[in-house]
Structure 1
């Protein structure tokens, strides 16, 4: 039923595009006339300059079109409906299921063995898991993303955790001591707009999403424990209810001594709070049943209608090479999906970055379902009702499961 609805929508959108084609002047297919030119759509700035080495080595011209993330989803939908897309496209992990069901990607399974850098063993297992859909390989991992704990080493030492909390029991104990320092003193800012974070907490309690069970997957004591854990930090005043002072100022002055985030904030802390150099560090996620974090990032895929499969795969093979991915990290600070790239000194010699490499070994792919983002946003709404509105947890979870069942049935 879900696939039928997607196809109906795509057909409708195709009619609209066809009717407007005579006036649109669309040039998305311009590169198609030159067999040595491929068109690449990306949401990452700087790729056009980065690919010059590939162009010189291969004789293939790469026509890069950078698309803002906020408009990328609609642009991809239009490409699917019209059949007029690029040869290679970047796809975020949370969009894989939605666009795979609409037949956006070419299945490249039969080509994998022909290219040395595309072998699944080259990449983190969880990253590969997000490139496989319905028995097909719809992409190759480009860069990866995960979450870890940032903490003030000097302040955590004062409450007995100089190397940061190892477990969630440690985290709660340290947080209570930090909050006891006085007025306007907190332990941590929990992410309130990140739909992945509630799932991370649930995975660490031993919960998993079962596609066959659907909404019944949320009827689990492990999932409830994750919601209760999240609520504890607000109920006891360990995390501030409300925005408060500018975050990096709070991390600098120690009033919020911990936070969860991705690798990009290593550079942000260094830039925004240079006065605390040597007084903070990064640590893998605290452990409950496990310490799994999310596996995010982006893939490179061949558009289903591309007539330049060989050229496209040569490009993706080059982008997947360890040296290329290490160089991309130097350029954009986006973490390599290729595990060998982590042996490069630019990553291996940086202890904080290496911590993210360690965390990537303990990750969980996000549920590969088209409704994932809607479910994530719905659980954020539920948490807001519990933490800020005082709603009762059992009743809120019952309402969430009912809404999840409705979303999954549409």
Structure 2
């Protein structure tokens, strides 16, 4: 099995070649993954606590699709550590699945390869129309002014999950609103022998999500107004250092979390080993690991000062999963019907309930299940204090290079090596040098 770092490096290398090798894409009649109109291959992203959980959630729905359309769906759940690299390999080889899930932040980058089916008005019409979907979700489906490269499937936002008993034992009456409050609470929590805040330090996607938010809170952007990377801007450097300092300086993230990449911090939280967790739509994940809903509370992610809101008080990226079709599928009708099925009101309610996410389909949001206290926090965050990651062609390279830089900085912190402004800038400079020319 390839290491996460190797996969990330491969993703960057492949992405740099994509414009030359895949701009034309395929067609609905050539180079696809299967030749049978009675089968589809589907790469699903790992949304649950494990791949086994995802299979348990998805297989009954795929069986329903087969019964309705007579098309069997061959399912593969792909871990997040491998997903981008697998997709990029498929775009260059032309041997991808028929349908796949993508992180919504990758939409513009994958759109630029030409490998995904564009969703113009006619294609959207086949699944009920573009106006069925929430505008904020559509905003992360590709570059502005172009037909979307994918369709929204699940909408999510980050929240702060906190263990009520650990808080009570430490004499903490309410969740922290600011990072200073969280660090102060951490001292009380550690005095009781518990870890404070979980993180996935070896997960490049988690890293980029958090440092993007920290950058917004520091009034910084990773890209300049003309779309060029500005990773070494002093405010960006300060923002990245502030996040890594939660381990290196403030000691609220355990050093062992530098090696976490696949839900280990969620597992620690569910087992009562740590007091807090920053996560996207975690309730279903926690439930599958045996943690009851009344054992934890949910609050907005902390900000630097004041309360979450627009501008500098951004506290989440606009998170979500899109569903896309490879342009060179041999079963375009089946693939389109599958997207229609997965975004139908009935399936949107089933799947988003299972994953504690928010349906991006407007008519499905009226279900009472999406008006719980947990979802109230997530919906309010998406509406008032979340920002989309840059929808630029080099976005996936940005995630990989900067996310890997943060991974290396966490490794330094865990090993006791100093994390300084200079060392953070050096890692970000290295990341910027790996970005493609504009």
Residue 118 of structure 2 is matched in structure 1 by: 107
TM-score by length of 1: 0.77
Deviates more, 1:231-240 or 1:99-108: 231-240
Residue 235 of structure 1 is matched in structure 2 by: 249
1:74 deviates by 5.9
- Tell me, yes or no, if the aligned pair for 1:90 and 1:299 is still in contact at 8 Å: yes
1:109 deviates by 2.3
CA distance in 1: counterparts of 2:131 and 2:14, whole angstroms: 29
Residue 201 of structure 2 is matched in structure 1 by: 192
- Tell me, yes or no, if the aligned pair for 1:190 and 1:259 is still in contact at 8 Å: yes
Instruction: Please tell me whether residue 221 in structure 1 is matched to residue 235 in structure 2.
Output: yes
TM-score by length of 2: 0.72
Instruction: Please tell me whether residue 320 in structure 1 is matched to residue 347 in structure 2.
Output: no
**What 5-or-longer segments of structure 2 have no aligned partner?**
1-12, 46-54, 259-263, 305-311
CA distance in 2: counterparts of 1:385 and 1:111, whole angstroms: 51
- Tell me, yes or no, if the aligned pair for 1:3 and 1:101 is still in contact at 8 Å: no
Residue 396 of structure 2 is matched in structure 1 by: 370
Q: Within 5 Å, give how 1:198-217 maps onto structure 2.
A: 198-210=211-223, 212=226, 214-217=228-231
CA distance in 1: counterparts of 2:235 and 2:389, whole angstroms: 20
Select the structure of larger CA radius of gyration.
1
Describe the superposition over 1:212-260 as per-residue Cα deviations: whole angstroms up to 9, x where unpaired: 353424414255145235415542433333359x967965786632121
Residue 300 of structure 2 is matched in structure 1 by: 284
The equivalent position to 1:356 in structure 2, one of 369, 374, 378, is 378
Q: Within 5 Å, give how 1:62-81 maps onto structure 2.
A: 62-69=72-79, 76-77=87-88, 79-81=90-92
Residue 19 of structure 1 is matched in structure 2 by: none
Alpha-carbon spacing, 1:229–1:313, altered in 2? closer, same or farther (3 Å): closer
CA distance in 2: counterparts of 1:71 and 1:202, whole angstroms: 26
Describe the superposition over 1:131-168 as per-residue Cα deviations: whole angstroms up to 9, x where unpaired: 11362310101113432111123443566653312223
Alpha-carbon spacing, 1:163–1:363, altered in 2? closer, same or farther (3 Å): same
The equivalent position to 1:131 in structure 2, one of 129, 141, 149, is 141
- Tell me, yes or no, if the aligned pair for 1:342 and 1:357 is still in contact at 8 Å: no
Residues matched between the structures, number = 385
Describe the superposition over 1:61-97 as per-residue Cα deviations: whole angstroms up to 9, x where unpaired: 3533425336655654554345454543332335434
CA distance in 2: counterparts of 1:317 and 1:81, whole angstroms: 27
CA distance in 2: counterparts of 1:144 and 1:87, whole angstroms: 22
CA distance in 1: counterparts of 2:369 and 2:248, whole angstroms: 39
Residue 104 of structure 2 is matched in structure 1 by: 93
- Tell me, yes or no, if the aligned pair for 1:153 and 1:162 is still in contact at 8 Å: no
CA distance in 2: counterparts of 1:406 and 1:376, whole angstroms: 14
Alpha-carbon spacing, 1:172–1:317, altered in 2? closer, same or farther (3 Å): same
Q: Please tell me the root mean square deviation across aligned C-alpha atoms, in Å.
A: 3.9
1:40 deviates by 4.1
**3-state SS of paired residue (2:294):** coil
Q: Within 5 Å, give how 1:5-404 maps onto structure 2.
A: 5-7=17-19, 28-31=33-36, 34=37, 37=38, 39-43=40-44, 45=55, 47-54=58-65, 59=69, 61-69=71-79, 76-77=87-88, 79-111=90-122, 114-115=125-126, 117-119=128-130, 122-123=133-134, 125=136, 127-133=137-143, 135-157=146-168, 161-179=172-190, 181=191, 184-193=193-202, 194-195=206-207, 196-210=209-223, 212=226, 214-221=228-235, 223-242=237-256, 251=269, 256-268=274-286, 271-273=289-291, 278-288=294-304, 289-306=312-329, 309=332, 312-348=335-371, 350-361=372-383, 362-368=385-391, 369-371=395-397, 372-386=399-413, 388-404=415-431
CA distance in 2: counterparts of 1:314 and 1:122, whole angstroms: 17
**What 5-or-longer segments of structure 1 have no aligned partner?**
15-25
Describe the superposition over 1:36-62 as per-residue Cα deviations: whole angstroms up to 9, x where unpaired: x462422253545314545555x4635
- Tell me, yes or no, if the aligned pair for 1:144 and 1:336 is still in contact at 8 Å: yes
CA distance in 2: counterparts of 1:229 and 1:356, whole angstroms: 22
